[in-house]
Amino acid sequence: MNNPLLQAYSTAEGTTPFDIISPEHFIPALEEQIAATLEAIDKIVAQTAPPTFENTIEALTTCGDLVERNSSLLFNLNNAATSPELQQVAQQAAPLLAHFQNNVRLNTGLYERIKTVYDTTDFDTLTEEQKMLLTKEFKSFVRNGAQLNEKDKETLRNIDASLATLSVEFGSKVLADKNAYTLHVPSVTALKGLPENAIATAAATAKEHKKEGYVFTLDYPSYVPFMTYVEDRNLRKEMSIAFGKVGFQDNENNTTEIIKKIVALRNQRAKLLGYASHAAFVLEERMARDEESVFAFLDTLKEKAVPAAQKEWEQVSRFAEEELQIPTVEKWDTAFISEKIKLRDLALDEEALRPYFPLKNVVNGIFDIAGKLFQLDFKPATDISTYAKEVTAYRVFKNKTLHAILYLDFFPRANKRSGAWMTSYRGQKKGQRPHVSIVCNFTKPTATAPSLLTFNEVQTLFHEFGHALHGMLANTTYAALSGTNVYWDFVELPSQIMENWCFQKEALDLFARHFETDATLSQDVIDKLQKKAQFQQGLQTSRQLSFSYLDMSYHSTKNEAVTDIKAHEKAIFDPLSFTPDVAENCMSTSFAHIFQGGYAAGYYSYKWAEVLDADAFELFLQNGIFDRATAQAFEKHILSKGGTAHPMDLYLKFRKQPPDSDALLRRAGLVEH
């Protein structure tokens, strides 16, 4: 078989030749490359020369590049363009790769060489990056079982193989359950209140499903407008319950047992390695450091947010009863009522803003902003292969030199998981520039209009672009320390800080232009958008905190054996919830962040990083949002450095002072300036 995954790509910039890669290529390539990598590691171990940084640590960084490349490619495609064949391959590959990682991390001879280097090297002779790499490698081996006895190592191998398989299975079931549901509405008269753009999208979806009328799905661009604007309360209820029971139905896609297994195995793994809990294991390598710090952080925010949320909820309840004759506000009412209050109090109709945010303009605007801040120039690259016809590729230049490849994938597909994320197809290291991708699920174009984004979608794109900048501007020697390879509660700083430019007139004027009239947003509207950022922040913060507490409840020492996922979740959510519980719904069963992604014991990091981004952006506000010196400092000390130093050290070099935790509360309007 002519397998393109068996060697370096022959494309001009080493880009992925998606057009010639098939599912059947992956397992043979991974098996061959894993064997070659383990052989190379055996040669490192068998050296007669005493262990040194160069012949052991640095030599190890050159091993397994193709395994990393191809496994990343497989799981990226399984998320963004999956198929039954690809899902089957991912299920095969997950335990194979887990076994490979254990063969490396549990290699006694390799560990002894690394330990010798760690114990005997004069750290003063190393660069800062070399110090960090050596420390990271040594701790990685210790934290992944290198000091265990052979019996416990075998147990660890079995746990890791099971966890890898369960994670892939969880994602496949959630996607299948989500795709299995559609709401067919035959007549437009039932859709009173829904904007024309959303109606047109639903009509196009109906045609795709070969139905008359209108079809709605659980993809965000379909679901969110429906829940925000449709006046028919029964239809909102049906849609809301369908969304909330993904993974929780009595069918083959139910994920409750998978969750129990994942939680139990993570806990078993942590204790096998000598940690009190999975959270204790995870947080040892986070800025927060331990469970107590996370809970103290969450509790501090809760103390400020809940009183504000209670006042906001009183307003919601009063408005619902007096203006809408809804005596008890249910889950399916909240977005609808909040939009009505926003329209009344802020005179801000976000749907009316869509024409100002055609996707093409927003993308060009982000490119302009990146150019002003970081001297990046984006050129369309139609000659670069992509994995779906909707995906576009760009060559990214800095000082007229190729700096990165960027892929943009914006619209929902049946074979694509929901949400938005940034990922990488090739990492950065000395002599190699990165290839990164932004994947979203935005409103599609219709027969009469281009893709017109909501303001929330604009923020999402800026957020993911911040992650992409972290990848594209990386400038380190070693791939393991490059780009987003940082502490998990630091990784959201570059993404979240970029959202701030969405609220600034100087930035909005670059891209927020009506797609028909070319009119810009008035200062009055921009002022309302800034006020909107503080709208119901008590409720929004409480909601995010509930997810963070839920995550920690599964993974911290406070966790007991979870026998009933729904009951467990309800106990966590009740103190921070304002609507009655819905028996058919369970959020955990589709909580991909913690059961499929990398946020287990880390969901708090969104709020943690918000403190950093609010404090960091205050410096841009002081000096000017396009101030070159400030942008250069952010690039130099944050974006380009990756994980080459402790995050707080990097932040202090940029900000020249510790982060002010009240910056977030000030921006949210929860404390006075």
CA distance 174 to 2: 34
Burial of 58 (0-12, 13-18, 19+ CB in 10 A): middle
Task: Give the tokens for residue 636.
Answer: 């130099």
Cβ-count burial 324-354 (b if 16+ within 10 Å, e if not):
eebeebebbbbbbbbbbbbeeebebebbebb
CA distance 211 to 257: 36
CB 369 within 8 A of CB 627: no
Single out the residue of 328, 308, 309 nearest to residue 318, CA to CA: 328
Single out the residue of 57, 603, 606 nearest to residue 282, CA to CA: 603
Length of the chain: 673
DSSP reduced 3-state for 116: helix
For helices 196-208 and 220-229, angle between their N-to-C axes, nearest 10 degrees:
130
CB 548 within 8 A of CB 297: no
Strands of 555-659, DSSP E:
none
CB 278 within 8 A of CB 601: yes
Strands of 191-337, DSSP E:
214-216
In the chain, the amino acid numbered 56 is: T
**Residues carrying an active site annotation:** 464
- Residue labelled with tokens 């990756």: 642
- Phi, psi torsion values for 513, nearest 5 degrees: -130, 135
Task: Give the tokens for residue 32.
Answer: 């061959």
CA distance 36 to 30: 10
CB 582 within 8 A of CB 328: no
